[in-house]
Amino acid sequence: MVRELTHFVAGKRVPEVSGPFGDVYDPNTGQVQARVHLADRTQTEAAIADAEAAQPEWAAWNPQRRARVLLKFLRLVERDQDELAALLSAEHGKTLADAHGDIQRGLEVVEFAAGIPQLLKGDFTDNAGGGIDVYSMRQPIGVIAGISPFNFPAMIPLWQCAPALACGNSFVLKPSERDPSVPLRLAELFVEAGLPPGVFNVVNGGKEAVDTLLTDPRVGAVGFVGSTPIAEYVYATASAHGKRAQCFGGAKNHLVVMPDADLDQVVDALVGAGYGSAGERCMAISVAVPVGEETADALVARLRERIATLRVGRSDDPEADFGPLVAQSALDRVRELIDAGVEEGAELVVDGRDFTLDGHPDGYFLGASLFDRVTPDMRIYREEIFGPVLSVVRAADYEEALRLPTEHEYGNGVSVFTRDGDTARDFTRRVGVGMVGVNVPIPVPVAYHSFGGWKRSGFGDLNQYGEDSIRFCTRTKTVTSRWPAGGVREGASFTIPTMR
């Protein structure tokens, strides 16, 4: 039976809607499993209005009381995690184990945001001058919107909404229409946890819904994660309408392999970070950069052997290393880029284009592919593939290996594998990328630091989660206060105030 999905507004799912619906597919079979309503401007504006009406009461709750809601929500998600992971896996196509990881990384930011009583503390200076005290406070913006991608339907919405809610804002989420069920369930769990109706709303839709969030004056800030062209559009449009914007785009993450690296460790890192979730991660390693021909030859030989052992299967297959891509369009694009790599002269060491899963002829499955002797002018190096494709770009020496990620237009994540501390220290200081791993393939920071790339991977001054998220979700108000003793009047002053 095909499910019908609408929106979540005023503490409940919207029961009846008119207008267009989009199809939600089962990536394992290619069959439609649900239909999701696509909101128009009027319906999106109704969700914004509801969020605006609910926000003042929520902001009036003290931070500790808001934190208790987050902590109860955390327990409810942990209670229902198996159900949520199964729902996520069925719509996205990532394995159940990976779906659990998606949820868990989101919950870690909820845990961080539950420390909001400490995080919201301002500064105070006693007697800054002549009986004058100066102090600052952080206050919520009002309504914040989040536009989240298909590849992390639990993690990214939680990264966006948890700090916003903790700070006293209301939140309107526009998730991907490809896998909207988990965000809707998270909204229900927030209400069960005690979040007042309207403080967290979910609106499904396409460009009309997005443009409404970007232009409506009642929305004070917007967070976005997705492709770079859309990130640029969201950032420019939101900024032009006076909104604070935090937008994260594409990536081309490199893993530099020094001659002294442990190749067994490197191969494990590359197959996991390159092919996990069928490569549909903004932090996926898609470029291996071995230093020196000997290192490159040995690495490619070991990768070829290891890839032959990978198991591609249904998303609910506990033995599968990765499952299908999310959509037919994604499958077609990855195949087209592999074709382009062959046409441009890269050596296709392992070809995953013809993979089919028995009994699933219409599923969006693709085997792992490995290219060698890729050069920086090729499309498969310049563009984000977002599929199970790993490219080997051989570097003659360390300086060339350092230049490749530094000069690429994306600057999201990079790793270096080495046993030499001097090399690691020099690399981390000089590489022009926002997140760096040393013998760590996917350098996603812990929740109390922050996540964000450089160059065309990120737009805006503040990163996701960590203390940056508290700054993004609040405005600082600074108070200069004096209480004259004994009612003494000093008369008018016509000079700029100074503190002497």
For the question of residue 473 being annotated catalytic, the response is: no
Contact 252, 380 (CB under 8 A): no
DSSP state of 395: B
Query: Closest Cα partner for 161 from 201, 115, 121?
Result: 201
Query: Closest Cα partner for 179 from 95, 92, 77?
Result: 92
Q: Which residues of 2-25 are buried (b: 16+ CB within 10 A; e: fewer)?
A: eeebbbbbbbeebeebeeebbebb
d(CA 414, CA 126): 45
d(CA 326, CA 334): 12
Q: Which of 167, 247, 282, 473 is the catalytic position?
A: 282
List CB contacts of 248: < 8 A, sequence separation 6 or more: 224, 225, 226, 231, 282, 452, 453, 457, 458, 459, 464
Contact 298, 263 (CB under 8 A): yes
Written as six digits, the tokens of 248 are 């994260």
Written as six digits, the tokens of 31 are 């069959």
Query: Closest Cα partner for 418 from 276, 286, 257?
Result: 257
Contact 394, 290 (CB under 8 A): yes
Half-sphere exposure of 474 (CA within 13 A, CB side): 23
d(CA 218, CA 229): 25
Contact 223, 193 (CB under 8 A): no
Q: Which residues are catalytic?
A: 282
